[in-house]
Amino acid sequence: MVGDRSYDMIAARKNGLAALGALWGYGSEAELSEAGAHALCAAPSDLAASCRDLAASA
């Protein structure tokens, strides 16, 4: 799940989903990391690589 706030990361994790933090949104890097983001993406173009990395580590 992609989100830009802490509650998005929390919701993803509570539902057994990977949490990808969108740094181009409202939340800060610290907020997303502290909320348990599995990966942080600086731009939408980073999403595919982050998804591949998460799938490879599963």
pTM of the full structure: 0.91
Q: Give the pLDDT of residue 14.
A: 98
Distance CA 44, CA 47 (A): 6
User: Could you list the residue range(s) of the whole structural domain that residue 41 is in?
Assistant: 2-57
CB neighbours (10 Å) of residue 37? 26
CB neighbours (10 Å) of residue 36? 14
Q: Give the pLDDT of residue 50.
A: 97
> What is the share, in percent, of the chain residues with pLDDT greater than 90?
97
Number of compact structural domains in the chain: 1
CATH number of the domain bearing residue 29: 3.40.50.1000
